[in-house]
Amino acid sequence: MRICLNPGHDIHWDSGAINATLGLRECDVVLDIGTRTEAYLEDAGYEIKLIQSNNLGGECPALPCVVDTANQWKADLFISLHCNAFNGVARGTETLIYQLGSSAHQLAAFMQKSIVSSIGTIDRGIKERPELIVLNSTMMPAILIELAFIDQNDDADLLVHHADSFAKAIATGLINYREGLT
Ligand SMILES: [Zn+2]
C-alpha cells in the first residue's frame, strides 16, 4: 500500500503559520512530524512518498507538484499535515476532507480518534473543504489533518515536544483504518 505524505507549505518558500513568541514555523513542525510518520509507516510495511512543496497543483512550475506526484505515483491514500492558527486561543485537532460520507471520511475518523485519544488534543471534528487543491485534485482518498494550533502556546508545546507521539498516532490511525476495512 502506497501512502503519499504531504507536510504542508515549504521550508524555503512558504513558512505557513508561525508562533513568533516561540519561534516556530508550521513548515518545520509538520516536516518533522511527517518525517517521523514516514519512518513508523515504513516499519509497518507501507511504501511512502513524502513531498513538501510550494507547488500544490501547478501554480509554481519550477517546484515539484504535490498532486501530480501523488497521482502519477498512484498513491492509495494521501495525507497532508498542517497546523492551524486563529486567534491564539483556539485549540485542537481537526481533519479536512473533500466530502462527508466518502472513504476519506472513514480515514479521517480513524485519524481524529487516534490523535485526540493519544495526545489529548481537543476534538474539533471532521470538516468538508472541497476548495482545497490537495483534496479536490488528488485521485485517491485524501485528508488534511490540522494537527493542533501553532499560535496557541499549549498546543504549540504539544506539537514540538510530542512530535513523535503525533507521528505514532498518525501511523496508528492509518493502520487502524486499514484493519477496519478488512
Ligand atoms: Zn498550513
CA 84 / ligand 1 centre spacing (Å): 6
Name beta bridge partners: 149.
84
CA 52 / ligand 1 centre spacing (Å): 11
CA 23 / ligand 1 centre spacing (Å): 16
Whether 27 contacts 52, CB under 8 Å: yes
What's the structural domain count of the chain? 1
3-state helix, strand, coil in the chain (%, to 5): 40, 25, 35
CA 8 / ligand 1 centre spacing (Å): 5
pLDDT at residue 180 in the model: 84
CA 182 / ligand 1 centre spacing (Å): 32
Supply the CATH number for residue 48's domain.
3.40.630.40
Q: Which residues touch 59 (CB under 8 Å, ≥6 apart)?
A: none
Tens digits of residue pLDDT in 71-127: 999 999 999 999 999 999 999 999 999 999 999 999 999 999 999 999 999 999 999
C-alpha cell of 15? Answer: 513558512
Instruction: Count CB neighbours of 66 within 10 A.
Output: 25
The verdict on pTM exceeding 0.95 is yes
Nearby residues for ligand 1 (ion, Cβ within 5 Å): 8, 16, 82
CA 169 / ligand 1 centre spacing (Å): 19
- Amino acid letter for position 114: S
Mean pLDDT within 166-177: 97
Q: How many whole angstroms separate alpha carbon 25 and alpha carbon 125?
A: 24
Give the structural domain span for 135.
2-181
